[in-house]
Structure 1
């Protein structure tokens, strides 16, 4: 029964100390960099967050030594910052790392090729239109764009 519940490991002070250290380290790491955890994720930010979470989680449960895990996270964040700088300085690097916008509807017509390549349906577009603008009238829309962060934005016709 103890194997299942783990009463004998309740007083594992090393685990608690590692948890506290990693929590404060993660706080410092994310506050001193621009890795976004809440809000608009690019695919790039999402991948970095998953990798950092995996490494820090392994360090908490003692599968990785504490210092090498912290160094690995610092390296990943440094590479993230470097790539973010390069995407800022180079448009082609930005397209490669963060992607580019894709027009999925324009002048009253769905771009079927782009919809298919992005795995988006007309219903997905209508859902975004309803949730963002409280309408499902595509006749009012001039252009719908799948943005680099995965959201659909709308440009409306002049009335």
Structure 2
């Protein structure tokens, strides 16, 4: 039972921490982010398993985490409030070539982040050619170009 409680507790802690950290953390992974992810995974592993390194303990931990993920997925499908609280909503960052500074600051997205996404996804190198740039719930930036006609 202790293994299940440990897994559930760590799952909830990580859920809250990554929700607070925001989608900026999901947008790009720098070498610092990779190191941080490795450290978090090691700390999480120690917290999840404690002194129990048995196959049964590991299997029970994995099953608990997957069941929790399925439960939260089901709750998000049924309740808009839970979906918003857990995943947030899409945020409009650029509208008709005009950056929305307040929303960019709130989400931690820079104009450089938007332009990188515009160049790689649409081949756009000028802000005025962006009709909309949207920070999606999954942390990616969608760019919609203006009609060139």
* Residues 1:105 and 2:72 are matched in the alignment: no
Size of the aligned set, in residue pairs, is 110
Task: Quote the Cα distance in structure 2 between the aligned partners of 1:63 and 1:136.
Answer: 54
Task: Quote the Cα distance in structure 2 between the aligned partners of 1:126 and 1:120.
Answer: 11
Q: 1:90 aligns with which of 79, 91, 104?
A: 79
Verify the 8 A CA contact 1:55 1:73 in the aligned structure 2.
no
Q: Which whole-Å deviations, capped at 9, do the CAs of 1:126-150 have from their partners, x for residues lacking one?
A: 1110011112122222111011111
Match of 2:130 in 1: 141
Residue 155 of structure 1 deviates from its aligned partner by 2.1
TM-score normalized by structure 2?
Answer: 0.62
Residue 94 of structure 1 deviates from its aligned partner by 1.0
**Cα RMSD over matched residues?**
2.9
Q: SS where residue 96 of structure 1 aligns?
A: helix
Q: Which whole-Å deviations, capped at 9, do the CAs of 1:29-74 have from their partners, x for residues lacking one?
A: xxxxxxxxxxxxx96xxx9xx76xx549x87xx8522212211210
Q: Gaps spanning 5+ residues in structure 1: where?
A: 1-41
TM-score normalized by structure 1?
Answer: 0.59
Q: 1:119 aligns with which of 105, 108, 119?
A: 108
Task: Quote the Cα distance in structure 2 between the aligned partners of 1:135 and 1:109.
Answer: 15
Q: SS where residue 106 of structure 2 aligns?
A: helix
Q: Gaps spanning 5+ residues in structure 2: where?
A: 1-24, 27-36
Verify the 8 A CA contact 2:124 2:130 in the aligned structure 1.
no
Q: 1:156 aligns with which of 125, 145, 148?
A: 145
Verify the 8 A CA contact 1:101 1:145 in the aligned structure 2.
yes
